[in-house]
Structures are given as structure tokens and as C-alpha cells.
Chains A and B, each alone.
Chain A
């Protein structure tokens, strides 16, 4: 391919130069003719004859010929007129063959001639033989051939080096991938810093490996946590059934054992469903987002929880900015808010406060804030509690599974937002907790067609 291009270029340069040389030769011949024609006009045949004799004798690329009106040679380089019929007054440009004596050999040549009849009939011809053009072309061919040869040699060497280098890097990639496949997820491929395709590929591979490691790590952590959260109640369940079976049959005790076993099973199922939902959120499932008005969701959810809050002796209030819109899945956002409210109500003691508010943030995003006056979470543990399955030891005894916050965090992440934990409402020395679900604001709604 490269070779074809070089050759094509070569021929192009050659022909365009050749045409250029030929054109210049023609111009030189025409100029000389015009010069001599004006010498004839001013000085007559004598002057012209003189000029032709002088010029023919001089060294130069041009040949001259002057003949009388009948075609007999008067002066110049040629011994006979070319075999050419002159018609009209205008001089003509043509090629003609002739022979030249070089030493004792005759040589066939061809020349480019410009011949015409001057006033009162004498014939003047200026010609330029093709030797000049051919020599120029030969010089050029020579130079070009060298250039092309060197270029080809270089490209072959460069190609071999590049191919060898590329092969080495691909080999390195393959080696790394093999190690990763063998289970070593910490491997990364080398980036040289040339920013070439291989570097870009290497960077992408590394990004992929980082993500892969994170995912596998998260899966492993989740697996451990599921194992823990499910194994404990399952073990308890098995123990209960075993105990009941070992006791002598007693209808009331058996019914009671069965009821407890059922409750335990329900808990396991609940945990399992939460785990499953989390897994689905984290999997790359496609969610169709639409414009979601926050205040509608928040107002409905607060209305939904308000009676329960009142029954629990909590003051649930709402402070909503209107017109806040996010791109998202309304059901997921609603569920995240419900989880936050569940949490706030679960951990806030009687007589406390829970406040839900929405606001536009200074960073251009919007937030749903659920603040309570409960015991709060110390700053050093705030990151920890967002992780899956983590529940602070203090709360281990409360019902429910420690998946609430991790689900909210997963919903936030899915929407390109985040969950932040901050200090909440202070009341009687408590720190309180504010869970802030930050979501990207939806772009302004498209306007309808202008009328």
C-alpha cells in the first residue's frame, strides 16, 4: 500500500516536471524567434543573417536555421529544411526528426522546432533538441529513485521495529490478562505515556480492571454479608425446629414453635428480597428515567408517614421548594425517601422531630434532606454505615435489616448523585442525623414549538 503510494507520487512528480520542462523549452524557442524576428524588422535580412550566424556558432541549447523564400539554406545549424509544409503566416511549433554527425557516427535525434515565414518570405526556424529535456528527466529520475529507495528502506525498517514493539506490548497485555483470568485481579497493564493507541488501550484495560476488581470485591463483601445475615436467622430457625422435635409432642408448644419458625422465615425472606433488589440496582440494568417533580413525591410520602409519626410521638414536618425536578425513576426515589423516613422514625426517640426538606444546592444539584433529632451517627462512622449490611452495634437489637441506607446510596448512585450524612436536628444534647440524598437536577424542559 505504502509502496503503491510512493510509486504513484513518483510518477506524478516525474510527469509534472517533464511537462514543465517541455513547456519552458517551448517558451525559450518562441522568445528567441520573436527576438530574431524583430532584429529582421529593424535590420533586414543582413542583420538577421548576422545574428543567426553568431548565435548558431555560440554554445547553447538552441539551433538556428535561416532559409530564403524558396527554401534554400542561408545560414544555421541545419543542412536542409525539415519536411514540413508552411501554411499561412503564423509560425508553427512541431517536432521533427533529424540526424546529427557525432565523430564518425550518425545519431538519430528529435527536436522541437518553431518555424515561420518572415515578411517578404525568408524562413526562420529556431529549434531545441530533446536531449536537454531527456537529460533533465534522467537527472530527476535518478534523484527520485534514490529518494524512493531510501523512503522504502526506512519504512520497512520502521515497520519491522513498530511491529516488533506492538507485538511485545500485545504480548504483555495478554500475559497480564492471563494473570487476571487466573484470579489475580490486582494486575494492571503498563502505560508508557506516549498516548498512542496502545496506551489508550492500556488505560482502558486498566480502568476496566479497576472496575472489575471493585465489582468482585463488592460481590465478595455482599456475599459475606448475605451469608452472615441469612445464616444467623437460618441457624436459629433450624435450632427451633430441632428443639421442638426433641420435645415430647405438645400441641400448644408445637404451634408456638411453628409460628416462631414462620416469623423467622419471613425475616429471612425480607432480607433476601432487599439483597436481591440491591443487586439489581447495582447490576447494569437499563432504567428509563423521566422528569420527576420532587415536591410531589415528598409531599405524598410525608402525608403517608405522618399518621405513623404522630402515633410514635414524633413531629414530622416538611419544607419543600417547589419546581425542583430531577431525571430519575419516581418509584426508586420514593422508595429511597421511604427508607430514610423509616430509618429516621426508627431511631428517633419519642418526643423527637423529623424534618423533610428539598432544596436547590449551590453546586447546581438538588437535595432531599431527612433530618432527625435522634442519637445521630459519629462522623467517623458515617461512611461505614452506607456500606451494605452494616448496622451500628448500638442498633443491632432493633428490628429491620441494615440495608436501608445502602439501598438509598445505590439509588443515589444509579441517578448519578450521592448520599451524604450530616448532623441533624439538635434536641436535648443529641447530634441528630441528616441523611441528604443529592440528585442531579433535570435539564430545563424543552419548550413546545414557537408559534
Chain B
């Protein structure tokens, strides 16, 4: 069974009398250790799919299972517990807590786990080291550059050793040079630490760092072949 198993997923939004269906009967498997990028025009449901995998949104139909747990059946509190233990989320706009230092921001997810203080410290230090920010641990978000903030966000997403990390346009608010640094970092996390990554991006260059590239359009997911990037293959409808 795939690590992420999505079946017949449908999400509708109502805007007055109009019904928008960004996702319709979507099927998708993501294997353990995959690095998946999701591309597509604006409003095609990329972030919605990410939110449904994360359990911060609920589908109208279909199921999402992660590592055998059907997250679409969990209550809001159960989902919170599940996310704390199994999911890392990298936001486009970093979303660090401004009153907390980089260290404290990274520590937030592990505060929710039954870990000793020493183990928490060890994990936070490792996560900050992994993103190359050990020397910025005591800095507040306002004292960091955009790229550094995003690296703190990445450290926060991986610190609890989640089964899957989702990233919603992680380079969307960064300049080209910083974007490249983040791309390299994400690739390293996937290759060296074996972290399963699902990344939404608008940028085809960023999408190409993923081992598996998906295109989402008109509610359907298509896969771009690894061997021929110009070929777009429908894998689900």
C-alpha cells in the first residue's frame, strides 16, 4: 500500500449559486520516500489537495489515507494529534510565530510529542543544523532574511520526524537565488533523510527537482514522465 493513498477525492466550493469543483474523483498514490511536485494553473486545486492530505480541510467525497490511517475519518482533535506525529507543513509565507525565536519556532511541534527536554533539544538542534541555521537559533523571525525564515519553517516541518512533509509553494515568496538554495535543501532532505515530500509549486524549475512531477488541471491529475518531460500522461480522472 502506498504511503499516501487518495481515492475518488472530490472537493467543491460554493460561491453564491456557482459551484466550483477543483478536485473531482482524484486518485493518487505516493510511495514512501517519494518527492512529488504538483503543478498547475492557479485555482486548479493544488493547495486544496495539499490541505486535504494534511487534514486541515475535508473533502466532499473520497478518502485520503496516510500510512494506513484514513485521515478523512478523523475528528478535528484526532487530526491535530495525527498531524503532530505524522505531518510536516511548509508554508509559502513561512508563518513563523513572531514572538518566538528560531529555536522556539522549531521546537513547537515537538512540544506536542511525549519527549524529554533533552530529546527535544537534540531534535531541534539537529533540525536547525540540517537547514544550516544553528548559528541563528536565538534570532527572532524579524531578524532573519526571507530565505532564513523559510529554512526555519523547513526545520519546523521536519523536526518531529513526520512520515510526510507537504510544502505549499515553498519558494513562492523568495528571490531566484534563495529559491535555488531552498530547492537544494529540499532535495537533500528527500535524498539524505528519506523524507517523503509533496510540494505544490507554480515554478516548473522548482518542480523539476522532484522525482515525480504531477500536473493538476480541471480537477484531474496527470503525471509528467521522468524520461520525457514534454509528455503529459493522465493517471487519473
A binds B: no
